[in-house]
Amino acid sequence: MRAAIYQAAGTVEVRDVPDPVIVEPTDAIVRVVRACICGSDLWAYRGVIDRPAGSRLGHEFIGIVEEVGAAVAVIRPGDFVVAPFQWSDNTCPACRDGIQTRCVNGGTFGAAGTDGGQGEIVRVPQADGTLVAVPGGQAATGPDLYPALLALSDVAATGLHGAVLSGARAGSTVAVVGDGAVGLSAVLGARAVLGAERVILISTHEDRAALGRDFGATDVVAARGEEGVAAVRDLTQGLGVRHVVEAVGTPDSWDMCVGMARVGGSIGAVGVPHTTPQLALFPLLRAHLTVSLGIAPVRRYLPGLVARVASGWIDPGRVFDLTLPLEQVSDGYLAMAQRRSIKTMLVP
């Protein structure tokens, strides 16, 4: 089979690798129908973090189950499934609390030593607890829904989780810092799923801002830093915003979030902090702010989101603005690194 392999910063290649096989009785083998590149994949590509040469890439995919282990009772061969970016048994205490990304038997696709989603076939550990079958299967779904279902494997659920952590609910005003796929998905989740009345998106890129408006953003602030904070406060009569989503993970984005949050407000953070921002506590204490953060437990949200996509209620797949064959994955990495693509979908 063919799969994307990380070689060095700026170098991703597609190579032949062995076909995966059932290792544990809880495994499933899934043939990938669509995969994609994540913003977090770019950290190693840009040389910000180290990654072993020769490791597999990708943690987002949908596909068809080809084989299951002897202990798999729910997922069956032929199922059309969405895979969250981490596997989980969905039965341990953390999973029962809805934090499947801390499963005691969990792991991440594309981590060193694991199968990556950017390939033709993936071994999925803990198949029953991880995979969510699409009602009606592939025949009842159709290629038009593939992008939306693929977005559920990470960014759509992660953006929604950020809005949930911020405390957003029906009638809320929410600010979203970050105009990547996660931030745009936070706009969609806050409006279409949680019922927020007003969403302020921080975006300095018109193409991303336009999609944000389509997803439900009522206001767009095309400024960053102190200027962006001042603009948000101007829009809210100087008070700031009660619900803020942090969808970047950098020191600058955190400073903006704290600066625009109103007294007694809440920040929901899902941006992965690869650059290790240091958060000053006194401004939070003085403003009575609540900070909730965590790697999104996508599996918690998948059943409801799959139903919403299948019914046409939401279309998070619009974050994909470039589609390439797997063999051209390196072009996708470059396009996203140069911000010529919001998110790139791959066809094996």
> Could you tell me which residue, 170 or 112, shows the higher pLDDT?
170
> Could you tell me which residue, 340 or 275, shows the higher pLDDT?
340
Considering the domain architecture, whether residues 237 and 133 belong to the same structural domain is answered as no
Question: How far is residue 297 from each of residues 13, 101, 278, measured CA to CA in Å?
Answer: 30, 5, 24
Considering the domain architecture, whether residues 238 and 165 belong to the same structural domain is answered as yes
Considering the domain architecture, whether residues 271 and 320 belong to the same structural domain is answered as no
Question: How far is residue 264 from each of residues 77, 191, 196, 290, measured CA to CA in Å?
Answer: 50, 22, 18, 7
The whole-number average pLDDT for the span 277-291 is 91
Among 293, 318, 337, which residue terminates a domain?
293
The predicted structure's pLDDT at residue 276: 73
Considering the domain architecture, whether residues 335 and 274 belong to the same structural domain is answered as no
On whether the CB atoms of residues 28 and 127 are closer than 8 A, the answer is yes
Considering the domain architecture, whether residues 48 and 148 belong to the same structural domain is answered as yes
Considering the domain architecture, whether residues 217 and 287 belong to the same structural domain is answered as yes
Of the chain, the end-to-end C-alpha distance in Å amounts to: 10
Report pLDDT digits (tens) over 32-50: 999 999 999 999 999 988 9
| CATH label of the domain that carries residue 304 | 3.90.180.10
**pLDDT at 274 > cutoff 80:** no
Considering the domain architecture, whether residues 14 and 94 belong to the same structural domain is answered as yes
Considering the domain architecture, whether residues 263 and 202 belong to the same structural domain is answered as yes
Among 269, 293, 317, which residue terminates a domain?
293
| CATH label of the domain that carries residue 275 | 3.40.50.720
* Token output for 36: 């994609």
**pLDDT at 129 > cutoff 80:** yes
Considering the domain architecture, whether residues 221 and 315 belong to the same structural domain is answered as no
Counting the structural domains of the chain, the total is 2
**pLDDT at 275 > cutoff 80:** no
- DSSP for 198-218 reads EEEEE-S-HHHHHHHHHHT-S
**pLDDT at 90 > cutoff 80:** yes
Structural element, H or E, at residue 67: strand 61-68
Report pLDDT digits (tens) over 147-186: 999 999 999 999 999 999 999 999 999 999 999 999 999 9
Q: How confident is the model at residue 4 (pLDDT cuts 50, 70, 90)?
A: very high
The whole-number average pLDDT for the span 183-200 is 98
Question: How far is residue 97 from each of residues 90, 100, 155, 169, 235, measured CA to CA in Å?
Answer: 10, 8, 21, 21, 37
Q: What is the mean pLDDT of the chain?
A: 96
The whole-number average pLDDT for the span 297-305 is 98
Q: How confident is the model at residue 143 (pLDDT cuts 50, 70, 90)?
A: very high
The predicted structure's pLDDT at residue 277: 72
Domain residues for the domain of 268 are 158-293
Report pLDDT digits (tens) over 221-249: 999 999 999 999 999 999 999 999 999 99
CA distance linking residue 156 with residue 164, whole number of Å: 12
Among 274, 293, 312, which residue terminates a domain?
293
Considering the domain architecture, whether residues 6 and 101 belong to the same structural domain is answered as yes
On whether the CB atoms of residues 330 and 322 are closer than 8 A, the answer is no
What percent of the chain is modeled with pLDDT above 70? 100
Considering the domain architecture, whether residues 289 and 162 belong to the same structural domain is answered as yes
The predicted structure's pLDDT at residue 140: 87
The predicted structure's pLDDT at residue 60: 98
Considering the domain architecture, whether residues 207 and 88 belong to the same structural domain is answered as no
Model confidence, pTM: 0.96
